[in-house]
Amino acid sequence: MKSFAIVAAALTLPLVLLAADPAQPSALTAHPAQPSTSVLVVEVTPEHGPRLVIPVPYIVVRAGVALAPRHIRQIPVPGLAPHMDDLHRALATLQDTPDGVFVEIEGPDEHVMVEKRDGALRVVVLDGDHTRVQAVLPFSLLASARNAFDGETTSLHTGALVRALRDAPRGPLVHLLDGGTEVEIRAW
C-alpha cells in the first residue's frame, strides 16, 4: 500500500505543478445547469503491472500553485496575440455549426477524424492496430480557456487554464491506447 501511495503522489505532482494562480482573478461565470468538475480521475493500465486509478481533487490542483515556479504559471506566447480575434470568431462559428464530421482522413493503417458532437470538438487518431488517441474538447472548456491569454503581456496564464478545467463537463477527456498501455483522464 505504501508503494501505491508513492506512485500516486509521483503521478499527481505534475498536475499540481500546473496548478492555478489564485492571484489571477477568475474570468469564469458559473454554469448552473452543469455541475462543475471536482475531481480529475487519471487511470493508467500498463501492459504489465498493476492498474492505477488516481483521483486528483480539483482543489488539490488549485492549491498546488504555491509549489509552481512562475515560468510555469505564465508562459510567453507572443505569436498568438495577432490571431486572438480570429480564434474568438472561429470558436463562435464552431459553436453555432451543426454537429458533424469536419475532417476525416483514412489510410491503409491510419484514421484521423475531427468532428463536432454533443457540444464538444472530438478528435480520434488511430495509427495501426496498437495506437489510439481520443480527445474531447468541450466548447464550454474552450470558451473558458480563451480567457487564459493575456494580450497585454502576450502570455498564457496556466492558472486560468486550470480554472477553465473546472467548467469541463463530467466524462472522458482523453483516452490513449499505445501498445498494451492504456491511459484515460476523466472529469468528475
Instruction: Tell me: pLDDT of 13 over 50.
Output: no
Average pLDDT of the residues in 12-34: 38
**What φ, ψ does residue 144 adopt, rounded to 5°?**
-70, -40
For the beta carbon of residue 184, count every other beta carbon within 10 angstroms: 17
Cell of 70: 512562475
Average pLDDT in the chain: 79
Distance between CA atoms of residues 91 and 59, nearest Å: 28
* Residue 140, C-beta contacts closer than 8 angstroms, at least 6 positions apart: 31, 34, 119, 167, 168, 169
Highest mean pLDDT (candidates 13-22, 25-34, 101-110, 160-169): 101-110
Q: Residue 81: helix, strand or coil by DSSP?
A: helix
For residues 92-125, one letter each, b for 16 or more C-beta atoms within 10 angstroms of the residue's C-beta and e for the rest, the string is eeeeeeeeeeeeeeeeeeeeebbebeeebbbbbb
Give the start-to-end residue ranges of the domains of the chain. 2-187
Please tell me the least confidently modeled range out of 7-16, 102-111, 147-156. Answer: 7-16
Its pTM stands at 0.69
Residue 148, judged by CB atoms within 10 A of its CB (0-12, 13-18, 19+), counts as buried
For residue 46, the model assigns a pLDDT of 94
Q: Is the pLDDT of residue 17 over 60?
A: no
DSSP state of 97: S
Q: Which of 134, 143, 133 is nearest to 166 (CA)?
A: 143
In the DSSP assignment, the letter for residue 147 is G
Given this model, what pLDDT does residue 143 score?
81
Instruction: With a cut of 50, say whether residue 3 has pLDDT above it.
Output: no
CA 129, CA 70: separation in Å to the nearest integer?
A: 41
